[in-house]
Structure 1
């Protein structure tokens, strides 16, 4: 029995990595977000859903923003790790509706004072429509649900 227990404890780090496939992209978090500012093409939007995607071995690489059943995909360009929360900057893949950018502020791992009753994610969406000379803004906030993913060390 002691040998079996030792074997299980020895193999547990390997089984934790069994699901790790370098380069594979999968959802890592999702949030229902409430809109508190919406103008331009986003006027009238009250809520949205944001899905965060993580690529094994690379971290967060993409966000899908779902508004009224339509999905906008944004690829992460930069992650700024800061003392009071991380900022992810992502750019729209499809620019047929104007050049788009998301700035997501993640306060989950903040080292600042406790952020009581504040959402963990705040999202600023901006679309520049050059042909119309218009900039549309959508500000969202909500609490994400994180999925349990195994990761390589």
Structure 2
């Protein structure tokens, strides 16, 4: 079957995807191959594809874990604001930094305000509305003359 790796190569792909070096992977008890064999595997298209699949899966799993902690992170920030923080300032700082990291990483980007489209009609201001808007400016100008 194309794309399917034999068990030893699959385990090696898992280790590489987890960040283990090629040398350490080659020497791992589950793998036990020479560095040259490991290097050859690492250059095979099917092996590279599998490593990328595993890395993508790992990234998704990590994202889900962080999203699960988003409410707790927000609570940490609120606790600090309201004075309900850990008495040990070092721990409070660590908790705050971790919470801030999660919230910054997962922050929802605000959509820009909608611009009026071509079909949007603008109502003309009446004379009294324009006078009312300009009145504070005229007051400021006259106070500077004294």
TM-score with structure 1 setting the length: 0.22
Greater share of strand residues, 1 or 2?
A: 1
Q: Answer 1 or 2: which has greater helix percent.
A: 2
TM-score normalised by L of structure 2: 0.23
- Report 1 or 2 for greater relative contact order, CA contacts < 8 Å, sequence distance ≥ 6: 1
